[in-house]
Amino acid sequence: MGAHAKHKHLLKDIDVKRWYDNLARGSIITAEERLRRLGRFGQTTGLDPKGIVEKKRASHDGFDDFILDYVAKSLDKGEKPAQVRNNLITIRSWLGHFGLRIDKKIKLPAIDFVDEVVPTKEELAQILRHCDPRSRVIASLMAFCGLRPESIGNYLGTDGLRIGDLPELKAKSDRVEFDTMPTKVMVRRTLSKARHQYFTFLPEEGCQYLKEYLEARMRKGEKLDSETPIIGHVREGSRLAFLRTTKMGWEVKLAVKAAGFTWRPYVLRSYCDTAFDIAESKGFISHPWRQFFMGHKGDIEARYSTNKSRLPPSMTEEMRAAYKKCEPLLQTTKADVEERKIKEAFKEQLLLVAGFKAEEIEKMDLGEMTNENLQEVVRQRLLGAMVNNGNHQRVIPVGEVESYVSKGWEFVATLPNDRAVLRLP
């Protein structure tokens, strides 16, 4: 059921239906919102849609004064200027359907989202910590890719971002992998507000959130293919495959509120745009590429469309490299990611020195392996090697290495807890 459910009776009027359908061909969200506002205007003023038209036709100036009074009363009641402005846009649109207009200029206070500053990196991290796995992916796609919520799942829940729209994502039998990161995210024409296809990128942090979310779904028995929604329903028997725009916004709003902020979910897209703005000022990214990643039409969009939504691979990789330069301005866990990589690389090298083969190490979860686990695994492997090699290897305190080397032993590696591995040549 659409969001116009409370006012759907208005669509019984053939003129309202024509106006609504005409708006919906451009944007179903716009059509739904304006139908709601038209209905609420009628509840507030006592004028139904046809009554608005009749009152305007009966007295041009009288109707304009009526609207001026309506604006004044709305502001006096504490309605925000943005709300009043949107109500006026709806009335103007409805009158325009009949070739009528409000002639008098109506002034409104400055429209300013005073409480809605763009989050800092630390504030975004706080919001992400208050998300569940699904809303964390939604927030990541908005904050890191600059996607609009309706590009992730449309208003009616009939279309949205699919596995196939991330061509470098590979869903295997029990895990998700990415061919390269940052990974490409395609936005099809049907999901683009400007009705053009474009692409952006998702950085490593966002890929990790997406991987965890999709693998959790796989463990529950879900089979993923190219048509699978990135953000789907968890409710059994839902008739909608994709999570609707309004539901996604609500889930992110709950996380924002839990983190102690009052911002709209859309502020996460502003976070991405601001990061690109800073990146452009530093020369990390060009203005046309920044526009393209945010889904705006421009020079790159024209070239992309002319080439049937394809760019030369070399240019795509240049754009990926430019986006990668922006990652430190976008990601909240970059330092943690780098530190984790360093630790895992050290563990891998230590295991290789201890005699483990690469295929054995691939099966280990190095990120979850504690130092104690690592020491025990290495100790057991080295003890086994010593036995197999006729006791030609030894694990000794680091302080005794010099003494053993002078006797002909060869240094192999340093182990945790100030131990060292030696062997006889």
Q: Which residue has the higher pLDDT, 125 or 303?
A: 125
User: Which among 96, 111, 136 is the end of a domain?
Assistant: 96
For residue 116, tell me if it sits in a domain. no
For residue 13, tell me if it sits in a domain. yes
Contact present, 227 and 171 (Cβ < 8 Å)? no
For residue 111, tell me if it sits in a domain. no
Residue 92: band (very low, low, confident or very high) from pLDDT cuts 50, 70, 90: very high
Integer Cα distance of 40 and 33 in angstroms: 11
Are 314 and 418 in the same domain?
A: no
Q: What is the mean pLDDT of residues 154-173?
A: 91
Are 55 and 174 in the same domain?
A: no
Mean pLDDT of the chain: 85
Are 208 and 322 in the same domain?
A: yes
Nearest CA-CA partner of 362 in 372, 347, 343: 347
Residue 169: band (very low, low, confident or very high) from pLDDT cuts 50, 70, 90: very high
Nearest CA-CA partner of 293 in 143, 155, 117: 143
What whole-number percentage of the chain has pLDDT above 70? 85
Asked if pLDDT for residue 387 goes beyond 50, the answer is no
Integer Cα distance of 276 and 200 in angstroms: 12
User: Which among 27, 62, 96 is the end of a domain?
Assistant: 96
For residue 102, tell me if it sits in a domain. no
Residues 208-228 pLDDT 10s: 999 999 999 999 888 899 999
For residue 398, tell me if it sits in a domain. yes
Residue 386: band (very low, low, confident or very high) from pLDDT cuts 50, 70, 90: very low
Positive or negative, the CA dihedral 309, 310, 316, 319 is: negative
The dihedral region occupied by 355, where left means phi > 0, alpha psi between -120 and 50, and beta the remainder, is left
Nearest CA-CA partner of 94 in 43, 44, 56: 56
Element (H, E) at 26: helix 14-26
Q: What is the residue range of 363's domain? A: 336-423
Sorted by sequence, the CB contacts under 8 Å of residue 308 that are 6+ apart come out as none
Helical pair 28-45 and 81-96, crossing angle rounded to 10 deg: 100
> What pLDDT is recorded for position 340?
64
Residues 260-309 pLDDT 10s: 998 999 999 999 999 999 999 989 999 989 999 999 877 666 666 545 56
End-to-end CA separation in angstroms for the chain: 78
Are 324 and 352 in the same domain?
A: no
Q: Which two tokens stand for residue 210?
A: 């997406």
Are 375 and 251 in the same domain?
A: no
Contact present, 289 and 300 (Cβ < 8 Å)? yes
Q: Which two tokens stand for residue 347?
A: 């563990």
Nearest CA-CA partner of 422 in 407, 405, 320: 405
Asked if pLDDT for residue 20 goes beyond 60, the answer is yes
Are 309 and 346 in the same domain?
A: no
Contact present, 263 and 119 (Cβ < 8 Å)? yes
Integer Cα distance of 241 and 153 in angstroms: 9
Integer Cα distance of 284 and 322 in angstroms: 6
Integer Cα distance of 88 and 52 in angstroms: 13
Contact present, 161 and 153 (Cβ < 8 Å)? yes
Are 43 and 133 in the same domain?
A: no
What whole-number percentage of the chain has pLDDT above 90? 52
Are 160 and 292 in the same domain?
A: yes
Residue 18: band (very low, low, confident or very high) from pLDDT cuts 50, 70, 90: very high
Asked if pLDDT for residue 132 goes beyond 80, the answer is yes
Are 129 and 212 in the same domain?
A: yes
**Maximum average pLDDT range among 176-190, 356-370, 409-423:** 176-190
Are 157 and 191 in the same domain?
A: yes
Residues 173-201 pLDDT 10s: 889 999 999 999 999 998 988 888 899 99
> What pLDDT is recorded for position 352?
79
Contact present, 92 and 63 (Cβ < 8 Å)? no
Q: What is the mean pLDDT of residues 88-110?
A: 92
Q: Which two tokens stand for residue 18?
A: 């024509």
Phi and psi, residue 376, nearest 5°: -65, -45
Residues 110-121 pLDDT 10s: 755 545 688 999
Name the domain count of the chain: 3
For residue 43, tell me if it sits in a domain. yes
Contact present, 222 and 182 (Cβ < 8 Å)? no
Q: Which of 119-133, 139-153, 278-292, 328-342 has the lowest mean pLDDT?
A: 328-342
Looking up residue 129, the CATH number of its domain turns out to be 1.10.443.10
Q: Which residue has the higher pLDDT, 239 or 342?
A: 342
> What pLDDT is recorded for position 112?
52
Q: Which two tokens stand for residue 7?
A: 């006012």
User: Which among 330, 345, 374 is the end of a domain?
Assistant: 330
0.75 exceeded by pTM: no
Are 361 and 303 in the same domain?
A: no
Contact present, 423 and 407 (Cβ < 8 Å)? no
For residue 107, tell me if it sits in a domain. no
For residue 210, tell me if it sits in a domain. yes
Integer Cα distance of 261 and 251 in angstroms: 14
Are 317 and 350 in the same domain?
A: no
Q: Find where tokens 């057991």 sit.
A: 380
